Structure formats: structure tokens, C-alpha cells
Amino acid sequence: MPTYSFTLEYDGTDFAGWQIQPSMRTAMGTFKDALRALTSEAPALTAAGRTDSGAHAHGQVVGCTLERDWAPDELRNALNAMLPADLAVRTVAIRNVGFDARRDAVDRTYRYLVVCRDGRSPVMRRNAWTVRGPLDVDAMRRAAAHLVGKHDFAAFGSSPRIGGSTVRQVTSVTVERVAFGSDESPQPGEPVLETIAITVHADAFLRGMMRSFTGALVKVGRGRATSEWLASLVDTATSRDPSVSVAPSRGLHQWSVRYEPTPDQELAA
């Protein structure tokens, strides 16, 4: 019985998150329905993580075992022919027996998009958080440095398991400003679109952790808090801190998941 991993991309706007919920449209439920319709099987699925309602994924990894052997490209194409426009299978790979998409993940990357604008942003409204800008990116970067390392992040999120640890290893946090201009801008020198991308690499994430990181960093970028305030929250709390606002889910993008290469992949390299 072959084991497969599926890398999924989806627009989370119309999904009530990843996890199956009664009477709700979810990414997992939609994928599982398509897999059942194609294979006449209902295998147990493992997933690299759970995305919130309205959050997006570019590299959600799902694992399962099927009774029938499929060529990876054939399986991907057949599923994509059945899936709705807001969910697609990017890649399919054959995995070792016992592969678990969550437990076997080495690290995960999440990215959050913030649009800086005084008014609304109709084009980006489904996949970014629009805030009144500009933001002090240098101050945000200084604050972000306090989040790197192995810390107790209870102030920023909760464990997905009751009584579970809130300690996580964050390997990097980057804050990048990307501005797109135009010669036809209403005001010369004013960007048509200014986006702040906050990217976090970690071994795993708490519930709400990335959105809380973003809320705290935007608070610093607006000049409403200092880097020292953010540093004071790390390793000191036992639960979420009420001074940390949680950014809306629409700007959250699950970006990628990394696994150790299999022996066959190492030989191919």
C-alpha cells in the first residue's frame, strides 16, 4: 500500500479553516471528498498544520496511504480536474511507509502580508491586512530580533494540545518592505501598492502565534509600542497577553514545510 504526500495550495477566503467541521466548508473536507470520489477510498489524512478560517496556504502538506498504486503526476492531474478553483494540488510524491505530514516536518514557514494605505485596498482585501501607513520597518525589524531563538511564546498563542508546551524554536523573522510605483500615480513618488511581508521560520507554531507576532510588530511599526515592550513578553507569560492584538486571518499565508530528504532523494542529489 503506497504512501503519498500532497502539497496543496488554497485560497482560504471561503474555507472555515483546514480542519473538518460539521456543516462547514473546509479545505480538508474538500480535498478528502475529491480523493474519495477519485479513488473510492477514505484514508486517514495527516497534515503539516491547521490553517485558520480565512487564512491561505501555498505549501500545505498532506499525507495518506492508498490501496492502489498511482503515478504521482496522474494522481495530481486527476485530483485537480475534480477540485474547485480555490484549491489545487501542486505536487504529489511517494513517501516512506509511516510518513506523517505533521510529526515528520522539520520546520515550517509562514508569511503575513500587510498593505500600507490610508484608504481601502480592493485588490488585496482577500489576502492582506490593510493598515494606515507608513510603518516604521526598521523599528519592526529591531523588535522582531527578540522573537528569534528557543522561547516560551505563551503570550502569543496556545498549544494545539491541552496542556502542551508553548516553547517553540524560531530560526528567523524577516520584515521586508516592497513598494510598486507607477509614472501615472496620482502623486509623484507615492507607491501604487506598498506591502510589508513578515516571514517566520520555526520548528512549529502555536495557535494564533503568527497572527499575534504580526499584531505586535505592527503595533511597534505604528509607534504605539517599543521593541522593549515586545521583548518583555517573551518567556514571561503563561497565557495570551491582552496587550497583543491578533492580526486578521486574511493576511496569513502558510508558505512551506520542510522535511528531511529520503535516502533516494539524497542519492539523486
Kind of pairing between the strands at 193-202 and 105-116: antiparallel
Cell 504512501 belongs to which residue?
Answer: 3
The three cell numbers locating residue 2: 503506497
CA distances from 266 to 4, 260, 263, 269 (A): 18, 10, 5, 5
What amino acid is encoded at 167 in this protein?
V
**Contact (CB, 8 A) for 94 and 77:** no
> Closest Cα to residue 16, out of 247, 249, 256, 211?
249
DSSP state of 123: T
Instruction: Please compute, for residue 141, the number of CA atoms within 13 A of its CA located in the half-sphere on the CB side.
Output: 9
| Active-site position among 33, 52, 100, 241 | 52
Q: Is 235 a catalytic residue?
A: no
Taking alpha carbons only, the member of 156, 177, 180 closest to residue 168 is 156
Residues involved in catalysis: 52
